[in-house]
């Protein structure tokens, strides 16, 4: 039974919707929080209360919530051509222009771009197209995909399997058989006593090699990783991690897939997380900030070998048997082009470089609080992990409860954030100013004191 203080709209919501990532029984008590409008880094709820959106929606609204240029780009494209597809050899100008622009911007020699609508679709396409490639290359055994515990790559059957979080597997009968999850590269939690970050990275690379050899290198196709893990708890890789891992991958011709769905387009103070963490990807997945979150669009960038193999497969077969009705939607491509133009014109990367130290310093100042285990982050992403033992990794008796309470305390003080287990995640719109960072972080000490 729903609580009798719920509004009519909240009652209708409960009866009409299944909410993703929501505890259903609790929702019946509290009702959903109805958001009505947005402007800049703020959103306003139906009760008229304004909040700092400290997670940019779901890590996607890098330009905030009221960017008129993005809206105009969508409107203009909707008037000209509201829909077209890329099937059967059709195309349209926004799709071509965006692919060209991405090829210019990406930190890899991207030969071709393939469009989807979501991060999950991009990563699902990665798996399928890598399998397709390996069949074309005459190595049909090479199909296993390595990912990492706490990695997040989506929720389709295949991408939820890549995701390394128990919530996405339990009761869904996942993961599927083709995935192997490697150790999470979280130095604070996983390093041996006294082990430096560089030593830890070397150990993880050695474990990667052991896994590849145990599985048989001829069976291992790819390794997928977020430059900074997002939904798994904002986990920044230890020093030297990706170069050490990639040395092993190269040795066994295992493809490096960079999942830039969160890190892409400025978030880590470079255009791509791959630049920040010295990743040389063979293929990349992008979504979210690609359109500033205003339109569902994703993209896979592939290197020449992958692009040529896909082309050969699509010639050998009657057609490429893969594609989404709305992949490369003209309005989405137009919005993405507008977003990229704004990122360039307003030098968003430069802005993030200027304000990120202010944010990171404010976050790290919270590390002294007795409830905090670790404060960490990169660029305009941050995680505050709570622990029953100050400064040390340890699990609470009821995992996730204290983190959720801190999130509520911040909400009560006007800041929307997201708790990932007992880590409070920050990922504000990249356009946030220093004064707004102050506004977002100011309630934190009091909210921590109020959290039990």
Q: Which residues bind ligand PLP (CB under 6 A)?
A: 58, 118-120, 123, 152-154, 226, 230-231, 259, 261-262, 287
Query: Do 227 and 148 touch, CB atoms closer than 8 A?
Result: no
Shortest distance, CB of residue 296 to ligand PLP, whole angstroms? Answer: 7
Nearer to ligand PLP by Cβ, of 154 and 429: the residue is 154
∠ CA 298-302-303, rounded to 5°: 160
Query: Do 228 and 273 touch, CB atoms closer than 8 A?
Result: yes
Nearer to ligand PLP by Cβ, of 63 and 212: the residue is 63
Crossing angle, helix 330-345 and helix 93-105, to 10 degrees?
40
Nearer to ligand PLP by Cβ, of 226 and 409: the residue is 226
Nearer to ligand PLP by Cβ, of 119 and 377: the residue is 119
210: Cβ–Cβ under 8 A, 6 or more apart, which residues? none
Shortest distance, CB of residue 321 to ligand PLP, whole angstroms? Answer: 21
Shortest distance, CB of residue 56 to ligand PLP, whole angstroms? Answer: 11
Closest CA to 166 of 175, 176, 178, 157: 175
Nearer to ligand PLP by Cβ, of 238 and 293: the residue is 293
Shortest distance, CB of residue 158 to ligand PLP, whole angstroms? Answer: 12
Interatomic CA distance for residues 381 and 235, integer angstroms? 10
Shortest distance, CB of residue 217 to ligand PLP, whole angstroms? Answer: 26
Please give the order of strands across the beta sheet that includes 35-39. Answer: 35-39, 42-45, 50-53, 415-416
Shortest distance, CB of residue 175 to ligand PLP, whole angstroms? Answer: 15
Nearer to ligand PLP by Cβ, of 64 and 230: the residue is 230
Interatomic CA distance for residues 84 and 325, integer angstroms? 9
Output the DSSP codes for 405-440: HHHHHHHHTTEE-EEETTEEEE---TT--HHHHHHH
DSSP 229: B
Nearer to ligand PLP by Cβ, of 6 and 113: the residue is 113
CA atoms within 13 A on the CB side of 222: 28
Nearer to ligand PLP by Cβ, of 255 and 387: the residue is 255
Shortest distance, CB of residue 317 to ligand PLP, whole angstroms? Answer: 27
Nearest position to ligand PLP, beta carbon:
119
Interatomic CA distance for residues 170 and 117, integer angstroms? 26
* Bridge partner residues of 299 (DSSP): 115, 286
Shortest distance, CB of residue 205 to ligand PLP, whole angstroms? Answer: 22
Nearer to ligand PLP by Cβ, of 258 and 415: the residue is 258
Interatomic CA distance for residues 12 and 242, integer angstroms? 48
Shortest distance, CB of residue 55 to ligand PLP, whole angstroms? Answer: 11
């Amino acid at each position: 039974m729903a609580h009798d203080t719920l509004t009519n709209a909240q009652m209708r919501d409960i009866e009409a919707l299944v909410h993703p990532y929501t505890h259903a029984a609790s929702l019946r008590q509290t009702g959903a929080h109805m958001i009505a409008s947005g402007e800049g880094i703020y959103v306003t709820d139906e009760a008229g209360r304004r909040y700092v959106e400290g997670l940019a929606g779901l890590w996607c609204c890098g330009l905030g919530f009221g960017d008129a240029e993005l809206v105009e780009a969508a409107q203009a494209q909707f008037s000209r051509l509201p829909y077209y597809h890329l099937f059967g050899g059709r195309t349209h100008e926004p799709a071509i222009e965006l692919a060209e622009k991405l090829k210019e911007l990406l930190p890899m020699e991207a030969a071709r771009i393939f469009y989807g609508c979501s991060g999950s679709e991009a990563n699902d396409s990665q798996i399928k197209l890598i399998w397709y490639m390996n069949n074309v290359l005459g190595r049909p055994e090479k199909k296993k995909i390595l990912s990492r515990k706490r990695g997040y790559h989506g929720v389709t059957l295949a991408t939820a399997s890549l995701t390394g979080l128990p919530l996405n597997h339990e009761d869904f009968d996942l993961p599927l058989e083709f995935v192997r999850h490697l150790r999470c590269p979280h130095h604070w939690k996983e390093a041996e006593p006294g082990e430096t970050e560089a030593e830890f990275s070397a150990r993880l690379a050695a474990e990667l090699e052991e896994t590849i050899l145990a599985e048989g290198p001829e069976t291992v196709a790819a390794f997928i990783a977020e430059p900074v893990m997002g939904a798994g708890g904002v986990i920044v890789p230890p020093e030297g991690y990706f170069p050490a891992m990639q040395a092993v991958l190269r040795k066994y011709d295992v493809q490096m897939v960079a999942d830039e769905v969160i890190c892409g387009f400025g978030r880590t103070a470079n255009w791509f997380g791959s630049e920040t963490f010295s990743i040389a990807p063979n293929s990349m997945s992008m979504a979210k900030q690609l359109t500033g979150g205003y339109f569902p669009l994703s993209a896979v960038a592939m290197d020449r070998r992958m692009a040529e193999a896909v082309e050969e497969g699509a010639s050998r077969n009657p057609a490429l048997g893969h594609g989404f009705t709305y992949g490369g939607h003209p309005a989405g491509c137009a919005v993405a082009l507008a977003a990229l133009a704004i990122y360039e014109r307003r030098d968003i990367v430069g802005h993030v470089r200027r304000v990120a130290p202010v944010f990171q310093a404010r976050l790290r100042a919270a590390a002294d609080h007795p409830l905090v285990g670790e404060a960490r982050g990169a660029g305009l992403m941050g995680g505050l992990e709570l622990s029953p033992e100050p400064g040390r990794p340890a699990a609470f008796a009821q995992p996730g409860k204290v983190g959720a309470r801190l999130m509520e305390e911040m909400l009560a003080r006007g800041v929307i954030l997201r708790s990932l287990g007992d880590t409070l995640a920050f990922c504000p719109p990249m356009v946030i100013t220093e004064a707004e960072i102050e506004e977002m972080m100011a309630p934190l000490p009091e909210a921590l004191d109020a959290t039990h």
